[in-house]
Structure 1
C-alpha cells in the first residue's frame, strides 16, 4: 500500500506540474501579438498536454488501486469530496486540451486575463484535495 501511495503522489505531482504550467502557456499565447512566438507557444502547449495526460491516468489508476485495497474509504465524506474534486480536475484537464486544440488551430478567442484566472483553478483544488487527504476531517 505504501509503494502504491508513493507512486500515486509522484504521478499526482507530475500531473499538477502540467496543470500549473499549461495555462501559463495560454496566458503567454494570449498576451503575445508576435506570430512566431504564438506558433512556438502553441507547439509547447500541445507537447506539454500530450506529455502530462498519461500522468493523470496513472495517478487516477493508482488512486483507484488504493481505494480497492481499502473500500471503506468510499463511505467517508472526505473521500467523496476529494473524488469530486478529482473529477472536476479531470474535466479541467480536458478543457485545457480543448484550449490547446483551439490555440493550435489559431482560433482561440480568450484573452490573457481570462487565462490568468483559469490558471488559478488547479491551485485552489490542490489545497482542498491535500487538506482532505491529510486531515480527513469527516
Structure 2
C-alpha cells in the first residue's frame, strides 16, 4: 500500500487540488445566493432549486473528494511532517471550512422551511469566512509557516 501511495502521489495531489477548487467555488457562491434570496422578491422556488443543486451536486461531492484525497496525501509516507506547524494550521483550517460547510447546509434548510432569520448583510459578512480560511490554508501549504 505504501508503494502504491508513493507512486500515485502526483495524481492524488492533482485530484485533491481539483476537488478543493470545486469545493471552494461552491462555498464562495452559495452565500451569495443566500444574499439574493434573503433580499429579493423573486420566485423563491428558483433560489431553493439553485441552492439545493449547488450543495448536493457540487459542494458536497467536492468536499468529500477533498477529504478523501487529502487523507490519502496525509497517509503517503514522507508527505507530511506533523512536527512542523503548517500541517496543524492547515488541518484546523480545513476542519473550520468543513464546519462552515455544515453551517451553509443548515442555512439552506432554514430557507427550505421558510425559516430564514438572517439578513443579506449577515450572509455578505459570512461570505468572507471561507476567504480567510483559504488564505491560511494556502499560506500553510506553500509558505509552510
Indicate the residue corresponding to 2:63 in structure 1.
56
Q: Which has the higher helix share?
A: 1
Is 2:112 the partner of 1:104?
A: yes
Q: Distance in 1 between matches of 2:77 and 2:135?
A: 24
Q: Deviations over 1:64-98 (max 9, x none)?
A: 10111136523321101100000000010011000
> C-alpha root-mean-square deviation of aligned residues, in Å?
1.2
Residues of 2 paired with 1:108 and 1:136: CA distance?
A: 40
Aligned residue in 2 for 1:114? 122
Q: What 5-or-longer segments of structure 2 have no aligned partner?
A: 1-8
Q: Tell me the alpha carbon deviations over residues 22-72 of structure 1, each in whole angstroms, 9 at most, x when there is no partner.
A: 0000000011133x1x22112111111111101101111111101111365
Unaligned runs of 5+ residues in structure 1 are none
TM-score by length of 2: 0.89
Alignment length (residue pairs): 135
Distance 1:122 1:132, change over 3 A: same
Pick one of 88, 110, 116 that aligns with 1:80. Answer: 88
Partner of 1:123, secondary structure, is helix
Shift of 1:104: 1.0
CA contact (8 A) 1:11 1:55 kept: yes
**SS of residue matched to 2:18:** helix
2:28 pairs with 1:20: yes
Question: How far apart are residue 20 of structure 1 and its match?
Answer: 0.4
Task: Please report the TM-score for the alignment, with normalisation by the length of structure 1.
Answer: 0.93
Contact 2:13 2:73 (C-alpha < 8 Å) held by counterparts: yes
